A and B are shown apart, each in its own frame.
Chain A
């Protein structure tokens, strides 16, 4: 017996492309705009969401039969908030440096609508294992877009990747800067993320025309 059936595999693979939470469902845009000015932050955010969404989906799925439907949104919110705070506290005690990098994301993870969206749409109606896969899949789909956007924004905006000066030194005029290239300051402000996400959506829909919504 394979570890993952075809259906299970699709739970992970679908959100990476044809059902991507950012480009198709247009969820989680807020954090995608806010923190993608550099690649490192994008990667850290992606990893945090993978953890929170994977674990949160399992918890909600285990509780799905006992959650009163009237207050289910509040219950979901509490589960996310608790998970995030536990992670934050444990990191502060045992990996202080990392926790400082993450501090800014804590609030953003709690308000990320992908997380609430998956709890509501999937975990409340499916078992823990499938919910776990669905959570990981959607978080990966979110992370992939974040990393792509972060890559272009940091490269074009600051001329660096993970803080390394890959295009040369803009002040000393080495590398591509010696032939007159300039960093595009627009790329490091949030509207640039919107444009990059827009381009990704355009490319994706022109490659796969079935994704184009009809109105």
Chain B
């Protein structure tokens, strides 16, 4: 039996039916998989935070190797001693501070209200790390990351990630050779909270000058690099009061 597919009624019915079928499939799939996806995202956050403070399974100088997904929860509670939420002048403990969405808090800060800012305090080999989440925008989409500072406000490690930067260009902000450059840089320029600039012309590609608040940029990824600079300085400014309180300088 041939159906007359040119009739308007048929077209409308077909479209309606298709929307219902496709909509149901996707809605069912999304709700069925949501718990698993959320758990994966939580593990990933823990891995990123641990990575920034130097707890990872890196074996050489090229690849990023996180603590494995199976162990991450245990390792996280072992190294992260305290989780704080800073709201205005008050500092409260909150064991789930690491789940706070920085994107929302930045929006709150922009609207003039007081954001709830998370800080994870880690301890490794007797040394304290203050790990702060960051959020900003690259060329195509969101970029985010974590920065680990010590009491002198010197960067101990960073982790960056992105949603849709160009592979081979902006996506390399999560490559070792870019992230490793940040370690040792101070976010202070004298007494100013300067952050760290991703600079194209700093004549220091090997990053031996740790006093310049600059790291070498990625070729072909100017806007992503600028996004990283902006993200760091915005975060540093947001946390300025807290950073002053932990600083020994």
A: residues with CB less than 8 A from B are 34-38, 40-41, 65-71, 74-75, 78, 82, 85-86, 89-90, 92-94, 96, 103-104, 107, 153-154, 157-158, 163-165, 171, 185, 188-189
- Proximity string of chain B (10-23) to chain A, C-beta cutoff 8 Å, 1 when within and 0 when not: 11001100100010
**12 A-B Cβ contacts within 8 A?**
A37-B168, A37-B169, A68-B10, A68-B11, A70-B11, A78-B22, A92-B37, A96-B40, A103-B163, A163-B63, A164-B62, A185-B219
Nearest to A94 among chain B residues (CB) is B36
- Proximity string of chain B (134-153) to chain A, C-beta cutoff 8 Å, 1 when within and 0 when not: 00000000000000000000
**Could you say which residues of chain B place their CB within 8 Å of the CB of A74?**
15
**Could you say which residues of chain B place their CB within 8 Å of the CB of A65?**
2-3, 5
Nearest to B219 among chain A residues (CB) is A185
Known: A34-B166, A40-B167, A82-B22. 9 other contacts (CB 8 A): A35-B168, A38-B167, A41-B167, A66-B3, A68-B11, A86-B26, A92-B37, A164-B62, A188-B169
Nearest to A41 among chain B residues (CB) is B167
Whether the pair A104, B167 counts as a contact (CB closer than 8 A) is yes
Q: Counting CB contacts under 8 A, is B220 at the interface?
A: yes
Q: Which of B14, B26, B29, B167: most chain A CB closer than 10 A?
A: B167
CA–CA, A157 and B205, complex, Å: 17
Nearest to A185 among chain B residues (CB) is B219
- Which residues B158-201 have CB closer than 8 A to chain A? 163-169, 171
Whether the pair B168, A188 counts as a contact (CB closer than 8 A) is yes
Whether the pair B164, A103 counts as a contact (CB closer than 8 A) is yes
B: residues with CB less than 8 A from A are 2-3, 5-6, 10-11, 14-15, 18, 22, 25-26, 29-30, 33, 36-37, 40, 43-44, 62-63, 69, 163-169, 171, 205-206, 219-220
Nearest to B14 among chain A residues (CB) is A68
Whether the pair B220, A185 counts as a contact (CB closer than 8 A) is yes
Nearest to A35 among chain B residues (CB) is B167
In angstroms, how far is the closest chain A Cβ from the Cβ of B98? 18
**Could you say which residues of chain A place their CB within 8 Å of the CB of B25?**
82, 86
**Could you say which residues of chain A place their CB within 8 Å of the CB of B69?**
96
Q: Which of B5, B11, B37, B165 contacts A93 (CB 8 A)?
A: B37
**Could you say which residues of chain B place their CB within 8 Å of the CB of A67?**
5, 14
Whether the pair B30, A89 counts as a contact (CB closer than 8 A) is yes
**Could you say which residues of chain B place their CB within 8 Å of the CB of A154?**
168
In angstroms, how far is the closest chain B Cβ from the Cβ of A106? 9
Whether the pair B169, A93 counts as a contact (CB closer than 8 A) is no
In angstroms, how far is the closest chain A Cβ from the Cβ of B130? 27
**Could you say which residues of chain B place their CB within 8 Å of the CB of A157?**
168
Whether the pair B15, A71 counts as a contact (CB closer than 8 A) is yes
Whether the pair B167, A37 counts as a contact (CB closer than 8 A) is yes
**Could you say which residues of chain B place their CB within 8 Å of the CB of A37?**
166-169, 220
**Could you say which residues of chain A place their CB within 8 Å of the CB of B44?**
96
| The 8 nearest A-B residue pairs measured at CB | A37-B168, A41-B167, A38-B168, A93-B36, A93-B33, A96-B40, A68-B11, A68-B5
